[in-house]
Amino acid sequence: MAAFGNPQLKLLERLCNASAVSGDEGEVRRIVLAEIEGLADEVKVDALGNVLATKKGTGRNRPRVMVSAHMDEVGFMLVAEEGEGLYRFETVGGIDVRQLPGKAVLVGKDHLQGVIGARPIHLTTADERRRTIPLDTLRIDLGPGGKAKLGERATFATRFQRNGPVLIAKALDNRFGVATLIELLRHAPENIDLLAAFTVQEEIGLRGAKVAAHAFDPDLGIAVDSTPANDLPSHDGEENNAYNTRLGLGPAIYIADGSTLSDPRLVQFLSATGDALGIPYQFRQPGGGGTDAGAIHRARAGVPSISVSVPHRYAHTAALISRVDDWKNTLALLQGGLARMSRDVIAGSR
């Protein structure tokens, strides 16, 4: 198995600290292109901005395996200027407006610092404090005289940090996946053709994956993403039986989400891989949500697909929390799975 340690975490840090709101993924794309240079037989950037990298194996009867990770993150777009460094903005992707007041943001390619403030508590009424602050009253404030261009994107300003087993960062969803794909390309096995898609616009409707899967025309697809761990206590002390995933229990294998029924043979294959290699894994609770697999499995004449995610808490907020070991085990499970992959896996009965 490939090494896991500081170089991988440093790569993840650079990826998390980069800004890449859906439709404006250039900063992450540049890191990806630089990291995978020389690792693949062919690399291209398609019409939407996906990075498509092909690394051919050498064995006979190799399956074409697509792995997909979205590069984009949720964020903001500046939509109107009010002078004196104040800007109206809209959200891009599913952001809870309650997560916005009192946050630092970074605007545009130059990471211009700004803030989203809130009315001083002293000037609010008790009644007002029981109501959510609406988006149309919030502003990105660059400071008096601060200048940005309308249409520029902004992200939360959180910088990546590690505290022992814990990672705290923005955009772990889905820089985990991006970093994983880079590592998979670095150590691509010879028994498959590895088709790595670093996709755009997942957060606004799996749009990059749709065309990437069409272009690759794979035999099977694996979306590598990051999924919520809602493993917090319930307010009433009752058992939390809707946790989705739990931090610390390893990669989350998908059986069903809001857009995809995973191919049962791939569920069986990946869990058997984990068992055989002694890698912990968990099944994501079947339910809503979705990944690039939602687009991949519908491509062309259909592509047997599955998703594997690194769990994180606090999806689509300024500060997500994850565990180093969950990522390490996700990478190990996928490396182990790809090394054991053959056409037989998807030839058998369901």
Partner 1 sequence: MPDLLPFLKDLLSAPGLSGYEDPAAEIISARWKPLVRELSRGRLGSLHGFRPGSGPEPRPSIMICTHMDAIGLMVTGQTGGFLRITNVGGVDARVLPGQLVTVHGRRDLPAVVAQPPARLLPPEIGENPVPLDSLLLDTGLPPKQVAELVRVGDLVSYAQAPMELAGEVICGHTLDNRVSVAALTICLEELQIRPHVWDVWAVASSQEEVGTIGATASSYELRPSIAITVDVTFAKGPGASDWGTFPLGKGPTNTVGPNIHPALQKAIQDLAEKLEIPCTLEYTPRHTGTDGYATQVSGEGIPTAVIGIPLRYMHTPVEMVAIKDIQRTGRLLAEFIARLEPDFTGKLIWEQE
The letter for the amino acid at 54 is T
Q: Which span (56-64, 93-101, 185-193, 252-260) binds partner 1, by CB under 8 A?
A: 93-101
Under the criterion CB under 8 A, does residue 147 sit at the interface with partner 1? yes
182: DSSP letter: H
Q: How far apart are the first and last CA of the chain?
A: 29
Beta bridge partners of 161: 168
From the list 257, 319, 304, the residue with the least C-alpha distance to 284 is: 257
Under the criterion CB under 8 A, does residue 228 sit at the interface with partner 1? yes
Under the criterion CB under 8 A, does residue 143 sit at the interface with partner 1? yes
Q: How far apart are CA 27 and CA 25, in angstroms?
A: 6
Q: How far apart are CA 21 and CA 127, in angstroms?
A: 35
Residues 6+ apart with CB under 8 A from 212: 46, 50, 52, 66, 68, 197, 199, 292, 296
Q: Which is nearer to partner 1, 104 or 276 (CB)?
A: 104
Tell me the per-residue interface mask from 165 to 194 with partner 1, x by CB under 8 A, - otherwise: xxxx--------------------------
Q: How far apart are CA 248 and CA 333, in angstroms?
A: 15
Residue from 33, 39, 321, 339 touching partner 1 (CB under 8 A): that is 321
Cβ pair 265, 350 in contact under 8 A: yes
From the list 296, 43, 41, the residue with the least C-alpha distance to 188 is: 41
Active-site residue, from 25, 35, 202, 203: 202
**The three-state (H, E, C) secondary structure of 215-258, written as one string:** HHCCCEEEEEEEEECCCCCCCCCCCCCCCCCCCCCCCEECCECC
Under the criterion CB under 8 A, does residue 99 sit at the interface with partner 1? yes
Under the criterion CB under 8 A, does residue 86 sit at the interface with partner 1? yes
Q: Which is nearer to partner 1, 79 or 242 (CB)?
A: 242
Under the criterion CB under 8 A, does residue 98 sit at the interface with partner 1? yes
Q: Which span (4-12, 159-167, 209-217, 340-348) binds partner 1, by CB under 8 A?
A: 159-167
Tell me the per-residue interface mask from 100 to 139 with partner 1, x by CB under 8 A, - otherwise: -xxxx-------xxxxxxxxxxxxx----xxxxx---xxx
Residue 202 known to be catalytic: yes
Q: Which span (184-192, 213-221, 302-310, 312-320) binds partner 1, by CB under 8 A?
A: 312-320
Q: Which span (8-16, 67-75, 189-197, 233-241) binds partner 1, by CB under 8 A?
A: 233-241
- Shortest Cβ 17–partner 1 spacing (Å): 14
From the list 39, 336, 303, 42, the residue with the least C-alpha distance to 191 is: 336
**Catalytic site positions:** 202
What does the binding site for partner 1 look like in residue numbers (CB under 8 A)? Answer: 85-86, 96, 98-99, 101-104, 112-124, 129-133, 137-139, 141-147, 156, 158, 161, 163-168, 228, 230, 232-236, 240, 242, 247-248, 313-314, 317-319, 321-323
